[in-house]
Structure formats: C-alpha cells, structure tokens
Amino acid sequence: MSATAAAPQGWGGAAWRQFRLERRMFWRNPSAAFFNFLLPLLFLALIGAILSGEQDQLDVIVPGIAGMSVMSTTFSALAFNLTFLREQGVLKRMRGTPLPASAYFAGIAANAVANTAIQIALVTVAGKVFFGVDWPRDSLALVVFVAAGVVCFAALGVALSHVIPNFESAPAYVNAAFLPLIFVSGVFFDADYAPDVLRSIAEVFPLKHLIDGLSGAMVTGEGLAGNTTALVVIGAWTAVGLVLAVRGFSWEAKSG
C-alpha cells in the first residue's frame, strides 16, 4: 500500500523538478525570452500605435496577437527545443537515466504551458491598459480556447520536430510554417475581409479558429456556444498532431 501511494508522489516530484529546471534554463536564454514574450508584445505595440484611435481594429489585433503567442510558445518553441535535444544527444542520454520519460516530457510541456499563460496575461493586460480593449467577456471560453490551442500546437510542434533533419535547419522549417500561417490567419487584420483565396486557406488551419475563439472570449462575448466549429477544427488538428507526434518520435539524433 505505501509503495503504491508513494509512486505518484515520486513521479510528480520528478516532473516538478524537471519543470523547475526548464524554467531556469529558459530565463538564462535571452533569445528564448525575447521570441516568447517580447516579440509578440513588440508586434502589439507597433501595430497598436499605427491603429491608435481605431478601436474596431484594435479589438481584432489583440486576440490575433494572443493567438500568435499561443503558437509561438508551443509550436515554435517545442519544435526548436526537441530538435536541439535530439540532435545534441540529450534525449538519448535522458532515456538511460532513472527519470521516467513521461515525467521528463511533463516538465517540458509544463514549461510551455507556463510561458503561454504568462504571455496571454501580458497581452490581455496590455490590450486593456494601452489599447482600450475590455477585460475578457467570457473567462471560461478564454481558458478553454487557450488550453485547446496549447495542446493542438504543442502536438503539431512535436510532430514537426520529427521531420527537421538537424538543428541548423530548424529555423527554416519552423518559420516556413509559422510565418505564412500568422499572415493568412488574421493575426494582423480581420480575416473576414481577406481575399477569398487567403480566407479559404486560413479556414483549413487551426490558428484562424483559435483566434476566432479568443476573439469571442475576449471581445465579442460569443463564448463557447458561438465557436463550436472552431473547437471542432482545433480538435481535429490536435488528433492529427498527436498521432504524428507519437508515431514519428525518435530518441536518436538524425545526423548522428
């Protein structure tokens, strides 16, 4: 009985220690902090200054930047990090340690979740204080869509890391997916007014639907009931991402 009761506590302690280690390593990497936190806020500041006084446009930009933040702190970060860990042999070495693999990856995932929560909080506060966007109208919908976006883009980021051949090419692979997607999905403009071709492309991918859900939660108050289609699309991409993330995973370096 005591051994069985101690096992979950041991796993939780290992995951917690790994999470704390990931947090320390994150803050010791200025470039990671910049791209995760400062870059989205810089976009928000620049575009918000350009659109100053146009509240309708600002109400579009803030959820858009929030959606981009979710993608950057999960999809981009995990694709980069897992490629680096694999190619440097860290994953292979970790596999031979007593640390359970599930606890190790739980620490990494929790780090991405923490970064996302901080970023969403920063964007929300900045939107309210500097750009006149009201506080979120539906907190439950905000939590649900952020959580759904985190799981979806985390899974897709892990899946993408499997096809990146080495860490030197990681920026090209990640940006080839990240940059076009943020430009067609309505991060910087109202996607409803985009050309039909771009709007059709955006509808296929999850970022546009995440932004729609965040807009409903933060601005319009539509909540979950008004964005069920967005949840379905995000859920479908999550399933695809999870399957590809699990099937393509490798502990071994590709270049080695």
What pLDDT, on a 0 to 100 scale, did the predictor assign at position 54?
Answer: 86
Specify if 230 maps to a domain: yes
Specify if 190 maps to a domain: yes
CA 167 to chain centre: 20
Q: Which of 205, 224, 254, 231 is nearest to 75 (CA)?
A: 205
Specify if 108 maps to a domain: yes
With residue 16 as reference, give the H or E element that holds it. Answer: helix 2-27
Specify if 56 maps to a domain: yes
Is residue 137 within 8 A of residue 221, CB to CB? The reply is yes
Q: What is the mean pLDDT of the chain?
A: 89
Specify if 119 maps to a domain: yes
Q: What is the pLDDT of residues 154-198, one digit of tens each?
A: 999 999 999 999 999 999 999 999 999 999 998 888 877 788 898
Specify if 254 maps to a domain: no
Specify if 255 maps to a domain: no
Give exposure, 151-184, as e/b (b: 16+ Cβ within 10 Å): bbbbbbbbbbbbebeebeebeebbeebbeebbeb
For residue 111, is pLDDT > 50?
yes
Residue 38 sits in which domain range? Answer: 2-247
Q: What is the mean pLDDT of residues 110-130?
A: 92
Q: How many domains does the chain have?
A: 1
Q: What is the pLDDT of residues 203-215, one digit of tens each?
A: 999 999 999 999 9
- DSSP label at residue 194: S
For residue 118, is pLDDT > 80?
yes
Q: How confident is the model at residue 4 (pLDDT cuts 50, 70, 90)?
A: very low
